[in-house]
Amino acid sequence: MSELDLLFQMPVLNLQLLLDGILVGSIFVLAAYGMALVWGVMNVINIAQGEFVMIGGYVAVVFGWIGIHPLFAVPAAAVILFVFGWALYRLVIFRVVDRDLFVSLLATFGLSILIQQLLNQIFTADVQAADSGFDTMLFLNGMVSVAQIKLVAFLLAAVIGGLLMLFLRVSRLGQAIRATAQNARAARILGIDTDRVYAATYGLNAALCGTAGALVAMTWVIQPFQGLAYTVRSFMIVVVAGLGNIGAVIVAGLGLGAAENFAGFLLGAEFQVAFVFSLLVVVLLWRSHRLGRKRRYLR
């Protein structure tokens, strides 16, 4: 019986796939939100996004090795990655912010490759994970299983996302970030140090990715070269949802998680990565076609 038949014969299987997909999708939402932040505020598409996620994952793995429970890696990764992101901005990114978008694209792509190779040197190309020691919950007479850690990750992701939104709305830095996103020149004239805002935004994005990575290490696996897939997922979500709409980002992120899970089941695990990248091509082409009818272009 083919996989597709299975889906029709066992509705419960659909529920399982959907649930797992949404739970992992929450992590995608975090990374996508960060990418949207950097894109909206400083007009930089951060190709190294996935690598930040991986670094966060390795923080959790290392915590596991030295005996600290990986859950503590979530805030730790946030702090470490924030500093890392801030430093990276001050060293490299600030030089490409005001140039054309392709230069920043290529620069962050170079960083992505650099980080990948560094991680490969340090941790080797083996997949790693961080064991949270949590159980699996069973529902519906054991037909649906939910790993507790995935549920915890989902809740944490929601909390982190909520905290970020609160921060952006309430704190001075958050307001400065939003002002700069709307109109950088006006913000500068009003006395906002846009350079510091950019550094903070980039650091914030890195921190978001770091927490996402720690969660990934606990719920899935990490590996130095899997970063690009997260970058592409984030990009897709932002393209579909648009830069301003957090609700759309959430829906798109969860939807992508679910779609990927179904695809992994139907096509086989070895094609899941192919699915993600193919979906990117399809999404962009579809978007372009829709705009083309109105004779506009994706800008």
Partner 1 sequence: MPNRNELVIFLAVAVAGIAAPLVLPGYTTQFAFLWVMVVFALTWDILGGQMGYNSFGNVVFFGLGMYVCAVVQIAPFTDLAEYTSASGTQDIGLSHGQYYLGLAVGCSIAAVAATIVAAVLGSGILALRGHYFAICTLGLGIAAGEIAAGIDLIGAGSGMVTPLYPGGIGSRERFFYFLCLALAVVVFLTLRSVYAGRFGLAINAIRDDEDKAEAMGIRTTRYKTVAWCISAFFLGIAGGLVGNIVGFIDPTEVAFAGATFGVWMVLMAILGGKGTLWGPVLGAAVFHVTQEVFWTYLFGWQRVALGLLIVLIVVFFPQGILGWLRERYPERFGHRIEPAEGASREGA
Partner 2 sequence: MSEAMLVVDNVSKRFGGVVANADISLEVAPGEIVGLIGPNGSGKTTLFNSIVGFHPIDSGSILFEGREITALRVPQIARLGLLRTFQQTRVYGKMTCMENMRISTANREAGLRGMFRRFPPAVDEHAEELLEFVGLYSKRFLRAGDLSFGQQKLLEFAMALMNGPRMLLLDEPTAGINPTLINGLIDRLRRANAELGITLLVIEHNMRVVMNLAERIYCLAHGELLAEGSPDEVQSNPHVVEAYLGAH
Residues that bind partner 2 (CB under 8 A): 294-296
Q: What 3-state class would DSSP assign to 140?
A: coil
Q: What CA–CA distance (Å, rounded) separates 293 from 286?
A: 11
Q: If you search the block for the tokens 């890696």, which residue do you land on?
A: 73
Q: What CA–CA distance (Å, rounded) separates 265 from 250?
A: 23
| Residue number, 287 or 296, with CB nearest to partner 2 | 296
Degrees, nearest 5: CA angle 55-214-209: 60
| Residue number, 72 or 102, with CB nearest to partner 1 | 102
Q: Among partner 2, partner 1, none, what does residue 45 contact (CB within 5–8 Å per kind)?
A: partner 1
Within 10 A of 181 (CB to CB), how many other CB atoms are there? 22
| Residue number, 35 or 130, with CB nearest to partner 1 | 35
Q: Among partner 2, partner 1, none, what does residue 294 contact (CB within 5–8 Å per kind)?
A: partner 2
| Residue number, 95 or 296, with CB nearest to partner 2 | 296
Min CB(11)–partner 1 separation in Å: 28
Residues of this chain that interact with partner 1 (CB under 8 A) are 45, 92, 95-96, 99, 101-103, 105-107, 109-111, 113-118, 120-121, 225, 228, 232, 235, 239, 268, 270-271, 273-274, 277-278, 280-281, 284-285, 288-289, 292, 297-299
Q: Among partner 1, partner 2, none, what does residue 289 contact (CB within 5–8 Å per kind)?
A: partner 1
| Amino acid at site 94 | F
| Residue number, 74 or 93, with CB nearest to partner 1 | 93
| Residue number, 172 or 289, with CB nearest to partner 1 | 289
Min CB(295)–partner 2 separation in Å: 5
Q: Among partner 1, partner 2, none, what does residue 208 contact (CB within 5–8 Å per kind)?
A: none
Reading phi first (left if > 0) and then psi (alpha if -120 to 50, else beta), residue 142 is in left
Min CB(71)–partner 1 separation in Å: 31
Min CB(291)–partner 2 separation in Å: 12
Nearest to 228 by CA among 112, 122, 89, 104: 112
| Residue number, 8 or 271, with CB nearest to partner 1 | 271
Q: If you search the block for the tokens 């272009």, which residue do you land on?
A: 297
Q: What CA–CA distance (Å, rounded) separates 278 from 261?
A: 15
Residues 60 and 130: beta-carbon distance below 8 Å:
yes
Residue 200 structure tokens = 């903070």
Q: Among partner 1, partner 2, none, what does residue 296 contact (CB within 5–8 Å per kind)?
A: partner 2
Reading phi first (left if > 0) and then psi (alpha if -120 to 50, else beta), residue 276 is in alpha
Residue 291 structure tokens = 């705009």
Residue ranges of alpha helices (H) inside 124-192 are: 148-170, 172-182, 184-189
Min CB(28)–partner 1 separation in Å: 16
Nearest to 196 by CA among 97, 106, 109: 97
Q: What CA–CA distance (Å, rounded) separates 289 from 35?
A: 24
| Residue number, 159 or 291, with CB nearest to partner 2 | 291
Q: Among partner 2, partner 1, none, what does residue 295 contact (CB within 5–8 Å per kind)?
A: partner 2
Q: Among partner 2, partner 1, none, what does residue 105 contact (CB within 5–8 Å per kind)?
A: partner 1
